[in-house]
Amino acid sequence: MKRASTLFLKICVFLMALPALAVCVLALLSLFRETNDQFPGKLYAVDIVYFAAVIPYFIALYQAFTLLGYIDKNIAFSELSVRALQKIKYCGISIGIIFVAMEPVLYMMAIEEEAPGLVVIGLVIALASFVVAVFGALLERLLQNAIHLKLENELTV
């Protein structure tokens, strides 16, 4: 049963990577497509920021995948898991900072395109990233306490 739940979560982590990868591929394809609105190879600020934010996103997904591997190997209460949670926390913080820094650009695009939802989407992504970072920090601290208690119990025997 335990392997089935971690397998399900690994599949979910893999499926979470697919939309980001699809947007990356579509953005790259649109860069090479010649249209009247855009020169070939012209990058917009939003494209650059998205590609900058996708890197920590994939790093966090990889760390989540390795954390699930540690659970399968029955070494979940180890320093390896704490380091994986630290990396997930840092990735969440960096994605949030990237999207908060992009808000002025999104605001200008929203005014130009008359689409105020762009600002809200950027804020939601930043907020979700900060929530993931806080959750990762909380789990990291709980895991460190559990490891400390485990070591104390092993020393008292």
- Note the pLDDT tens digit of each residue in 34-78: 665 654 555 677 788 888 999 999 999 999 999 999 999 988 888
| pLDDT score at 32 | 73
Which tens digits make up the pLDDT trace of 74-102? 888 889 999 999 999 999 999 999 999 99
Q: How many domains does the chain have?
A: 1
| pLDDT score at 29 | 80
**% of residues, the chain, pLDDT over 90:** 52
Quote the pTM value: 0.86
| CA nearest neighbour of 126 among 58, 49, 73 | 49
Contact predicate 102/46, CB 8 Å:
yes
Q: Which domain holds residue 137?
A: 2-156
